[in-house]
Structures are given as C-alpha cells and as structure tokens.
Structure 1
C-alpha cells in the first residue's frame, strides 16, 4: 500500500544560475577625471548559483555568488577573499515559515529569517541594488501578513561583528576601509521598519516607517573609538504609482529626522514626481523631477540619505549622486526626461536626459560662491533578449560638468575634464528550472 504525505505532494525544488559579465570603459564614471588622466577599462563578472525548496508551510532560499574582475587573481594563486575584492560570498540564505495554513490562498501570515534582499516599491529606499555585481542584502527577520490586495510587513535587524561574551559594541567599518553601503556611509547597528502596501489593478500605494541606529563613537587624532549606545535616525513617508489610460504617474514624499551616523541632528526630505505617456504600443516618454534637501541649518543637517535603495536607477547611470562617490551633502535637484522604445519583440531602447542642480548653496572653504548647476547627463541603453535565458545590454553615458560640480566642497577634482564618458557591454545568462 502506497503512502502519500501532504509534504511530498507540495514539495518543490527550484534551481538556477547566473553568469553576468560587464565590460566597462570609464572616463569619468562616478566623478570627472583630472585632465591628462587615462580612461579605465576592465571586465567584472558575477557568478551565482540559486536554490529554493518549498514544502508544507515552509520555504528555503539560498544564493551563493562569486564576484571578481577578470585577472585580479594570478592564474596559479588561490587568494584569500577580502571585502575590497568581493569574491565568494553567500548572497542569500533564508527560511520562511507559514504561520497559517497554506491552503488559505488569499491570506498568508509568515516569518522570514536570515540573509535576504529587501525590495519594496520602485527600490528607491529599499532595493537589492542588482546593478552592483555583488548586490545588496540584509541579515534580518521579516514578519509578513498579506491578504487580498493588502500587505503588512514588519522587519528588523541587529548587527554584531562576532559572538561576544559581554556588551554589544559594533564596529561598522569593514576591513580595508571599504564603504559599508553604496552611499559611502557606515553600516547600521540595528534597523526596524514597518511597511503597509495596497495593490491596485495597475499600480500600488504604500506607507513606510524605517528606523536605523548607528554606533556612537569618539575621535582621537582622527582615530575612531566605537562606544556603547547608538544614534537613531528615522525615515517615513508615502509612495504612489498607477496607470490611468495611457499615462503612468508616480510620486513619493519622505521625511528624515533624528540623528545621522555622525550624531548630527537631521531635518531632511525627499520629493519625487514623474509621468510616462504611452504614445503608442512601442514608444513612451515623460518628464520627472526629484528633490532631496541638503546643506545645513545651524548644527542641523538637511542632507537626505536614500537609505538602502538603488541610486543607479534614478540619478543618472554614471552614478555621480548617492552612490560610492559623494558630493558633499548638498542635496540634489534632478529634472529629467526619460523615453523607451520597443523597437522589436526582442530589442528595447531607452534614452534619458538629466539636468542636475544643487539643492543648497555651493561655496568653498574661503567663501567663494559657485552656481548651483552641477551639469547635464545623457544616457542611452539598448537591451536585446536573444532568448529567455540570454540577454545583451549596451549603454553609453556622457556628462557635461561645471565648475560647481568639481569644486572643493562637492567632487573636489582639481583641473577636471569638462566632458566625461562611460560605456559598457553586459552579457547576462540566467537559466533556471523547477523540479516537482
């Protein structure tokens, strides 16, 4: 007599892989180069193996990746991985337990534990930063309640460098002085957030409240000594997107307060709005504006930090703003026009133009004033899907910079080139299959 268990009937194994190479020509990517500086050229590679297992009232996910630049290892040497060189790492390793019976299809209540991506709305504040070869992940716990078109998520993380016998002092600076996040800031010691979202037929709206804490410290001769306790920052606001007939409208507004990672009081905001008009089945175009506050008011910082999102998606593909290369906390005004053309069933073309300005006054240490104009960027990207598994992507960007952009308190580049270029070719191979 055969025995059939509900676990066996529901069990499902998924396997996947990704090999993504990206060759880049950098002649001022991130910041303008000084005159006479040679452009850089290299190829980076992400290799990922993904596995997932679903059973009765649980799911498990695992993603292991190796990220490196071609040639950074001597062909006969097995090096020791450092964070500066990325290398082999666990990108995700999580388990999700269904706290209610999984036969209730329109309602779920679960808890997800472990290393995981946090991906919400348009990825502006919480995203997986997939453009970066190593991506972004969090060691966190996530309580999820989803019913019909509503979703309520409550998440939290508490970071420590190692197992301790006493205390909870946390050093957020990885070895090699490597930035802990893409904004070049310190890694949070702890983080909590509440997300409430409502799905529409062609869009969604959401509310976010996120609080992150940063280790307190004191400095002696520029050497930081980490202390007990933490400074707390909070970010809260709303997001909305929906398609009305042939027009897609997106807007968001967030406020940031508390204290930042250096213990400075915060009073900052982010405002965004954009529209995309589908002129026909193949072409869409639309304007937009982003505004982040910046500068200081007395001892209070007005510089908004876009948390743990995907800046590459929003503020120009050359990553001049809110990426690894800082711009002095001046805040940003970004007026842009974006367009997309579906040339064929397999070829997609995109072209964007950005006009960037500072959101606060730009002055040097000896009180020389500059224009708020940071310059103009043009981005062109072509994506060709050879098959469902294989795709090619090529892009070119050009930046026309100003004296304000390269000034002492912004990018601080002496004798800078006024024109910067960046080009890339990316090949993405991503097979996956499911076993039942």
Structure 2
C-alpha cells in the first residue's frame, strides 16, 4: 500500500548547530511524503511527486507541519503515575516517591497497565520512540516490550540495576543484575522494533562489583546501548566522591568498570569537569538533556551551546517522571528557556532537530528514524500550528514559517498533534 501524506514538510539539509539554523532546515510549503510498507520512499513538492504515485492513498493535512515523530531519549516509564510529585531534590525525591512506586512493578499486571498508559500518553503527544529505564524487576521489562510490540512503536529499554543505597525490595546483586540483564537482552534485543539497553541506575546505587559485572555484559554485547545518569546535581556528585574516593571524577566511576563508550547514554550531564567533557567527546558518547526535570528538581542549567560547539552528541528527553511533562513540545520550550538563562537561546529549527534527528543520533538510530528522507522508517507526526486560540492568534501574525512554528513549541501540547503515523500507519 502506498500513502501520500501532504502538508508543510520539514527536512534538514545540515545539522542546525553547525550551520545557520534557517539555512540548515527546509519547509516545503505544499510538500508530500510518500510511504510504502512503513518506509519513506520519496519526499518533495506535492505537485511534482503525486503524478508518479497515481494509486497512492492521499492524506492531506493542509497547512499542518509534517515532521518525524518525536524521540524521547531518557525516561522512566515506571514513574508515569507519580509524575509532578511536589517539592523534593533528587535524593529525597527518589526515596519519597520513586522507590515506593517502583516496588509495585514486581506485579506483571501492574507493570503492563502502566506500560500501556505510558505508551498511549506518548503517542498522544507525538512521541514515537522512547529510551526507558524499567525497574529491577524483569517483569517490568517484559511488560514494557510486550506493550511496545502491540503499539508498533520503536522502543528501547532495560532492567534498572541497583545493589545498594536503595530499599531492600529494590536491590539485586552483581550476579543477578548480570544474569537477568543477559536473559532479557537475549529475549528482546532486535525483536521487531525493540532494543535492549544495559541499565545501571547510577553509581551511588551500584557497588563497584555490580558496575564491573554490567561492564562485562556490555563488552560481550557492544552493539547494545548502555544508559545511566551523570552529574545531575551537586549533592549527587559529592555523594559519588564519598563512595568512590579513588575516582578522578564522576565519569571515572563508570570508565573504570567498562561503562564508558560510544554507545553510552549519559543523562543530565550538567556539572561536568573538563576531563569528563574531553573523555565523553573522545569516545563519542551521547549526553541527554532533560530540561523540565532539571528545573523541576532544581538540578542546574545544561550548557547546550557550549557542548554542541565542542562537538558533543546531545539528545533531548522528558525524563518522565522527574520531568514534569510527557510532551516533547514542553521539553523543547524548557530547553529554550534554559538557553535564555545561559544567554544562548535556541532557534526553533534547532529545537525540532534535537527532538528528532538529534535524539535519533544519540540512540544510534539516525539511519532508521528522526528524518524525513527516502529509506527512513515512516514514524511521522502532523502538528497543527493553530491548535489553541492563543497559539492561533500569534501564528496568524507570523512573518515566516519559523515565527509560525515557535508559538506551538512554547505553548503547544497534545492538542497540537493532529495525527501520528507509526511505521506508516495512522494511529487516530
């Protein structure tokens, strides 16, 4: 079956942090995306393309903006029901809200119910790919991946491993972390659109023996991603120094145990030392910016401009439920606000790139998702640039497409997501 999706189609000619954002991006005013069997086969002006596909089913989205589905590079799906919990810094927040909720995920039925609701929320907000932490329970991973197979979304996830500084009910051991992770990896990695991610929560909740066991597993499966947290808050960094007195810095606690590499995803990365920046760049690791979480939990201001100028790979994420929204639009707005506070505001073209191609690259999936181009998987969304009265009255005054798009980034929510296609299939 061939489908032609019409609208204002966003593509990128270049990376918008390396070139002028306006010249790096292109919006075809009356564009078409041609999809066959879940894959994009052509894109360009509608009037030029449609005659070549006379049998195509046409979905005309009018003036809506057609772009890749959003890619959320760092979330905790088990925290879905405790999102927007009041008033704690990171360590107290974990103990007060996160750990009690995560204990419930030993129940497969509970885990599946949360997974289903989480994936429905992401689809409603235009997110088609997510990289998630689960809990220590293998049941939480099985539930998430089973739900993702049913939804068709491309998903990445892994069992969170912790063997200290957590409630007894949420601790595993170095050996069980290795064994459970390996069994889950064998069961799920590469099945349909699923990828397993090796997942030590962060150094404070793993002993050196557990970190080493997970480093050994990663060495055995280097094609897998490894995700963890790095330098989120200053109190956390002090805690790490007390737990690892011989380490050169926070990153060294991972590096010394085989957990630093090109397929590494390091969430937050706000308070980095010069050596850490150099090593992350040298190995080609990815950093993940979680702006709503960073402001909600009071962590600090991520240096997007400085890190991108230095050539770091950076993705964007909601960090559900430390982040206060499931929406990547709200996440882009928060990234803009943090940029303003640092004196380096981001252009709309840069923000949309971070939420699509940038996050895809951080996950090593930029050959499959995150761009509208022939050969890419057809995970797409249509954004209504006049979804509310407030947005419509501003976009009506816009002098160009970027002035029309920016109000939706700053004020948009799930009402702006007019349609979602997962592997070419409309979900509405």
TM-score (structure 1 length as normaliser): 0.29
Higher relative contact order (CA closer than 8 Å, sequence separation 6+) = 2
User: Which structure has more strand as a fraction of its residues?
Assistant: 1
Q: Which one has a bigger Cα radius of gyration? A: 1
User: Which structure has more helix as a fraction of its residues?
Assistant: 2
